Structures are given as C-alpha cells and as structure tokens.
Amino acid sequence: MLRYTVKRLLQLSVALLGLSLLLFAWFKALPGGPENQLLPENATAQQREALRAALGLDEPIWVQYADFLGRVVRLDFGSSLSSGRPVATELADRLPATIELSLAAMLIAVGVGIPLGYLAAKRRGSWLDFAAVSGSLLGTCIPIFFLAAMLKVVFAQELGWLPTTFRLSAGTEYTDVTGLRVLDGLITGEFDVAWDAVLHLVLPAIALSSIPLAVIVRITRASVLDVVGEDYVRTADAKGLKPSVIRGRHVMRNAMLPIATIIGLLLGSLFAGAVLTESVFSFGGIGSFVYQATTERDYPALMGFILVIAVFYVVINLLVDLSYGLLDPRVRVRK
C-alpha cells in the first residue's frame, strides 16, 4: 500500500507540473503579453519596459518559468486586477463556501443514493425500483439552475420553511476557523450557528445534489445487480451467513468499487453546478468571483482559480485512487 501511495503521488506531481507548464504557456500567449492587461492604454514605452523588468519578462524563458513556478508554490498568484487584493486572499475568502456546499451536496447524494440504489436493485421490478430509476432519470434532466430556483420559490419564499439566501442569518456572530460554517460552529461549540448554517445549506445542497444523486442511484443499482449474481455471494449464502453480513462484507464491498470512482468524478464536476446554485442563493462562494473575473479578463484571478481547481481535481483523484487501493486488494502492487 505504501509503494502504491508513493507511486500515485509521483504520478500526481507530474500531472501538476504539466498543468503549470500549460498555464505558463497560456499566460505568455495572452494578447500583447500580460503587461498590457496591467498598463493603462496610453502607457509610454519606458513604463512598459519598467513593468516588463519588474515582472521579469526580460529574463530568459526558463528563468521566467522557474520564477512563475516559485510564486505558484508560494500561492502568490499576484493581485486581482479588479479588486487589487491578492488573488490568494480572494480565493481563501470564497472557496470555503463552495467547498462546504459541495461537500453537503455530496453527503446527500451518497447518503441517499447508495441505500436507494441498493434497495432498487434488491427489489428489482418493484414500484420502488421503478420510482428510483425514473426519478434518477428526471434528476439528470432538470437543469440545476431551474431546480434551485424552484426549491427557493417553494420552500423558502412560499412556505417560508427555510432561508432564501446567504450562509447565515443576518447579524449572526461567528468564529472563523476553517471557513466551513457548520464545522466551525461544531468546533467552537456555537451550535446555534452550526444549525443556522445547516438551514442555509439545505436548499442549495439539495439542488446541487440532484445530478450526483441520480448518477449514484443508478450506478449503485447496476453495480449491486452485477455483484448479487456473483458466485462468491452464493458462497456467502452457502455459509449460512446473516443477510446483514452478506450485504455489507460481500455485496457492498465489491459493489463500492465502481461507485467510488464515480463519486470522485462527480466531486470534480460539482464545481460547475456550484457556480449556478450559489448565484441563485447568493451563497458567496467562488461562483460570483469567477463570473466577475471572466467578464473583466482578470487574468491573475482566473489563473489562481484554475490552479486551485486543478489541485482539487488532482487531490480528489488521488483520494479515489487510494480508496480504490483500500477497497480492492488486486489494485495494490503485488508483493
């Protein structure tokens, strides 16, 4: 397992290095060079030269790349062109909201999707199976934006059961530890804050969970149907084991292999949906930040965003690979 992990980590660094090269090339290829984005249009040639020198753009290209890499590693993405604040700070302010929302959505998707998919498989052909399958079809068709708006109108505005916007009720005092409000509330013992944060999370998280939930229900159902027909499940049955043991140790442990892969892929794709959901619920995550950076061609901000997202993808991939190694002994390096 250790060798497997080290190998994965090495592969991962290579991937990140490749990505940094790509980004660097992109940065260099910006129309007229990055200094044009930073200078007023009527800048003089001296100003231009001075800025190029300041940015190190007169150095040999490999020095520039090394310099770029050094800054990236120190999380120094420069300052946002629109706000003037360091990009790293901007991201650090907003990412936790998106992470919290994504995690909550995934929790719902996994917590509901796997049991539901299992039941659908076990009662194949029943009304429950039918409902789960058609419901998951529906889940993948409804646009997230529409679903988010519907949930908001019905449960927040009409019924008034849940808050409409933001991460906490106005005027709530809270202590920032991780930036994940629910977690912070639990850590600091401010349970009322944690609960308030949960209430604010419910609707956006449900909206965001629709697609992963639908996918997980179907993949679980298919995976369980596959595994239930395997000879080793019959062997487990022939041992007279209790149904709960057969379900956990023999069916689900094998059925989890494809499910784990899908969960990893879904986590990555959640960010796209998060941008939309956040805008409906004014959730204050990276959604609005990215939108603004794109329209204003705020390259440092975009670069920082892309790098952070890339690191997320890579880390998620690593986690999936590692969990795969844990779940499936055949994947681990043979002794």
Partner 1 sequence: MALLEVEDLRVAFGNATAVDGVSFSVEEGRIVGLVGESGCGKSVTSLAVMGLLPKGRGGRRAKAPEPVQAAAAEPAPGAVKAAAAAPQAVPAGGGRRSRGGADVSGRAVFDGTDLLALTPAAMRRRRGKDLAMVFQDPLSSLNPVVPIGRQITEVLERHRGLKGAKANQEAASLLDRVGIPDPVRRLKEYPHQLSGGMRQRVLIAIAVACAPRLLIADEPTTALDVTIQAQILELLKDLVEDEGTALLMITHDLGVVAGMCDEVNVLYSGRVVESAPVRELFARPTHPYTVGLLGSIPKLDLPIHEPLTPIRGSIADVIRWKDGCAFAPRCDRVAEACVDGEPPLIGSAHAHRCVRAEEVA
Q: Which of 25, 53, 92, 245 is the binder for partner 1 (CB under 8 A)? A: 245
Q: Which of 94, 167, 181, 250 is the binder for partner 1 (CB under 8 A)? A: 250
Q: Which of 60, 158, 189, 330 is the binder for partner 1 (CB under 8 A)? A: 330
The answer to whether the CB of 213 falls within 8 A of the CB of 262 is no
Question: In the complex with partner 1, which residue's Cβ is closer, 74 or 242?
Answer: 242
Question: In the complex with partner 1, which residue's Cβ is closer, 246 or 267?
Answer: 246
For residue 6, the minimal CB distance to partner 1 (Å) is: 21
Directed axis angle between helix 253-281 and helix 191-228, to 10°?
140
For residue 240, the minimal CB distance to partner 1 (Å) is: 4
For residue 111, the minimal CB distance to partner 1 (Å) is: 23
The answer to whether the CB of 35 falls within 8 A of the CB of 42 is no
Q: Which of 236, 260, 262, 320 is the binder for partner 1 (CB under 8 A)? A: 236
Q: Does the footprint of partner 1 cover residue 232 (CB under 8 A)?
A: yes
DSSP, collapsed to helix, strand or coil, labels residue 86 as: strand
Q: What are phi and psi of 170, to 5 degrees?
A: -55, 140
Both tokens assigned to 325: 């190694």
Question: In the complex with partner 1, which residue's Cβ is closer, 74 or 335?
Answer: 335
Beta carbons within 10 angstroms of residue 149's beta carbon? 16
The answer to whether the CB of 98 falls within 8 A of the CB of 285 is yes
Candidates 94-102, 285-293, 303-311, 323-331: pick the segment binding partner 1 (CB under 8 A).
323-331
Q: Which of 158, 160, 231, 295 is the binder for partner 1 (CB under 8 A)? A: 231
Candidates 8-16, 78-86, 209-217, 236-244: pick the segment binding partner 1 (CB under 8 A).
236-244
Bridge partners (DSSP) of residue 79 are 86
The answer to whether the CB of 108 falls within 8 A of the CB of 209 is yes
For residue 237, the minimal CB distance to partner 1 (Å) is: 6
Directed axis angle between helix 87-122 and helix 191-228, to 10°?
50
Residue count of the chain, please give it: 335
Question: What is the C-alpha to C-alpha distance for residues 178 and 43, in angstroms, rounded to an integer?
Answer: 43
The binding site for partner 1 (CB under 8 A) comprises 229-232, 234-242, 245, 249-250, 253-254, 257, 327-330, 334
